[in-house]
Amino acid sequence: MFLRDELHSCSSVCQNGGECTGPTTCTCATGWSGDKCTLAVCTNSCQNNGTCTAPDNCTCATGWTNSTCETATCTNACQNGGNCTAPDTCTCVAGWSGAMCSIGERRRQQQPQQQRRQRRQQQPQQQRRQRQLQQPQQQQIQKQLQRRRRQLQQPQQQRIQKQLQPQQQRRPQQQQRRRQQAQQRRRRRPQPQPQQQRQPQPQRRRQLPQQRQQKPQQRQQKPQQRRQHQQQIVTCSGTLANQVVYTAGSNPYAVAIADVNSDNHPDIVVANNGDSNVGVFLNVGNGTFLSQTTYTTGTHPVGVVIVDVNSDSHPDLVVANSDASNVGVLLNSGSGTFLSQTTYAIGGFSPQSVAVVDVNGDNKPDIIVPNAGSQNIGVLLNSGSGTFPSQATYTTGTYSSYSLAVVDVNSDNYPDVIVVNSGSSNVGVLLNSGSGTFLSQTTYTVGSNPTGIAVADVNNDNHPDIVVTNKADYNVGVLLNSGSGTFSGQITYSTGSFSFPIAVAVADMNSDNIPDIIVADFSTSMVGILLNAGSGTFLAQTTYAAGISPQAIAVADINGDSQPDVITAGGNPNAVSVRIHC
């Protein structure tokens, strides 16, 4: 017995259920190996630097999961159908980009033929009638001009023919004409007229050729007047004239209007998302614009604001760079050209727009950005010289912070922040505490996938109301201010089936001193105007063609006639569309 026990004793204890079978030998349980059964055995090898720590169980490196460490993990969920393929890295489906696949390229979606036919039938009857009448009117004017040319050419042709007639043929005709004239003189036997009475005749004869020349000119003026009248009819239908298109950079994502070169004419600035720059279109003075001048920004700019941030009386550019996760400030050199950008951290990543407003009462404009990737807003206070050294962040909703507005909604003389939480289908109101800091947001439910926002008093009660575009519901929602900075439930107004309203502005379009709603319908490539009925309710929209797939909109008087004009920017084609108010 004693010798048998010695043969089965081990110098070290067998681990994990192993059995001692010799002085230094352990027979290990399934899934373990080694002298002491301390090494785990995995049927499938651990991937991506994972370590096998138990039978068929891997301890994964940071950013990987699953039993074999094959599945990547992302701190923030990939959006819009994107797949997490590496730690904190999303592989996006077609039409989306960015760290979380939150930036849409917004190409025009192909729709069934029946839907396209339905949109064509919805075009205003007046526009179709004008196109039908345009060609016959032009043809009629051309026929009248050709007829008049023939009439003017006939006397000249007759004189040429007479000169070409043989002299022998003309002589008998002249002799016969002289005999007839002599016979007529003999019959009349006119009395000699005083010299004073014969004087007007030569003057009258000298005037006749002038009169003949004047009459054709008068007749020619009538077709010209008709042509001018015709052009006025063709170029203007309803509230807005036909659009004038200017070439922009790749995927113009945002648009802003301001006089950047101090000539008292508002200019256009767009954020060219695909080219990572901003384009400046200078106004020549009559509402037409020069070709864009571009200035480099960060990667994929999505928002631009024109504000004087360094108190030199020249408006500067503030740009939200989405993929660079910062804001860029381009100072105005003083002549409408801009210096290279200076970038500032935003306290988050993937900003989707930008606003510039003095939020702490020091008369220096501050920067506010919605950070969709980090689900917060960043507030960058102005140091006083146009620099923004630090930032504070405030939490918003899930997949939120798509766009925002900064307006005093509770009448305390401090601007508050109203943010669109696209993934949460609500808007959040962050009240200003009075020193440039903000309270936690109060949310109000809106429609599905809200994107654009405007804040203005639409019912004339001196309290700003909220207007938001509900992209997936094909409507705009209006939330009236109760007077204390709280808002009633939204009232919705349709923008048409499959319209995908994406951006909105508020302005008085019909001079009744009541603000109306102007919306950019991305899918139908239209601008819709919803006139205010007078009590904060709105009539059905009237649509006007815009550039293909408009995704940004601005309203301003660009030609100095005191009427609001509409400017849109779209990525297919890459253009800025200008429609002058009639």
Q: Which two tokens stand for residue 324?
A: 């660079």
User: Angle 394-396-401 (CA atoms, 0-180°, nearest 5)?
Assistant: 105
Domain membership of residue 113 (yes or no) is no
Beta pairing partners, 383 = none
Please state the domain count of the chain.
2
Q: Which two tokens stand for residue 411?
A: 């009448």
Domain final residue, candidates 49, 81, 113: 81
User: Angle 43-48-50 (CA atoms, 0-180°, nearest 5)?
Assistant: 55
Residues 6+ apart with CB under 8 A from 272: 248, 249, 250, 251, 252, 253, 278, 279, 294, 301, 574
Residue indicated by tokens 């899930």:
398
Domain membership of residue 86 (yes or no) is no
Domain membership of residue 175 (yes or no) is no
For position 29, which CATH number holds?
2.10.25.10
Domain membership of residue 497 (yes or no) is yes
Residue by residue, DSSP assigns 164-216 as HS-HHHHHHHHHHHHHHHHHHHHHH-PPPPPHHHHSHHHHHHHHHHHHHHHHH
Contact assessment for residue 471 and residue 106, using Cβ atoms and an 8 Å cutoff: no
Domain membership of residue 103 (yes or no) is no
Domain final residue, candidates 24, 58, 81: 81
Q: How far apart are CA 208 and CA 409, in angstroms?
A: 77
Domain membership of residue 231 (yes or no) is no
Domain of 57 in residue numbering reads as 2-81
Contact assessment for residue 420 and residue 404, using Cβ atoms and an 8 Å cutoff: yes
Q: How far apart are the first and last CA of the chain?
A: 114
Q: What is the pLDDT along the chain (582 residues), one digit of tens a residue?
A: 433 344 455 666 888 888 887 777 888 888 788 878 888 777 777 888 888 877 778 888 888 888 788 888 877 778 887 888 777 788 887 778 777 787 765 444 444 566 666 666 666 665 666 666 666 666 777 777 777 677 666 665 665 565 555 555 556 667 777 777 777 776 665 555 544 444 444 444 444 444 444 444 444 444 443 333 333 333 565 689 889 999 999 999 999 999 999 999 999 999 999 999 999 999 999 899 999 999 999 999 999 999 999 999 999 999 999 999 999 999 999 989 999 999 999 989 999 999 999 999 999 999 999 999 899 999 999 998 899 998 999 999 776 678 999 999 999 999 999 999 998 999 999 999 998 999 999 999 999 999 999 999 999 999 999 999 999 999 999 999 999 999 999 999 999 999 999 999 999 999 999 999 999 999 999 999 999 999 899 999 999 998 889 999 999 999 999 999 999 999 777 999 999 998
Contact assessment for residue 63 and residue 73, using Cβ atoms and an 8 Å cutoff: yes
Integer-rounded Cα radius of gyration of the chain: 39
Buried b (16+ CB within 10 A) or exposed e, 105-142: bbeeeeeeeeeeeebeeeeeeebeebeeeeeebeeebe
Buried b (16+ CB within 10 A) or exposed e, 567-580: bbbbbbebbbbbbb
For position 407, which CATH number holds?
2.120.10.30
Q: How far apart are CA 285 and CA 334, in angstroms?
A: 19
Among candidate residues 409, 416, 459, the one with its CA nearest the CA of residue 434: 416
Q: How far apart are CA 378 and CA 84, in angstroms?
A: 26
Contact assessment for residue 378 and residue 428, using Cβ atoms and an 8 Å cutoff: no
Q: How far apart are CA 441 and CA 417, in angstroms?
A: 9
Domain membership of residue 110 (yes or no) is no
- Determine phi and psi for 139, rounding to 5 degrees: -65, -40
Among candidate residues 103, 48, 125, the one with its CA nearest the CA of residue 92: 103
Q: How far apart are CA 311 and CA 334, in angstroms?
A: 12
Q: How far apart are CA 553 and CA 476, in angstroms?
A: 15
Q: Which two tokens stand for residue 464?
A: 């700003």
Domain membership of residue 188 (yes or no) is no
Q: How far apart are CA 531 and CA 508, in angstroms?
A: 8
Among candidate residues 511, 517, 573, 509, the one with its CA nearest the CA of residue 546: 573
Domain final residue, candidates 31, 50, 81: 81
User: For residue 500, which amino acid is it?
Assistant: F
* Angle, helix 200-235 to helix 125-164, in steps of 10 degrees: 150
Confidence at residue 69, expressed as pLDDT on a 0 to 100 scale:
85
Q: How far apart are CA 355 and CA 405, in angstroms?
A: 7
pTM for the whole structure:
0.62
Confidence at residue 541, expressed as pLDDT on a 0 to 100 scale:
96
Q: How far apart are CA 253 and CA 550, in angstroms?
A: 9
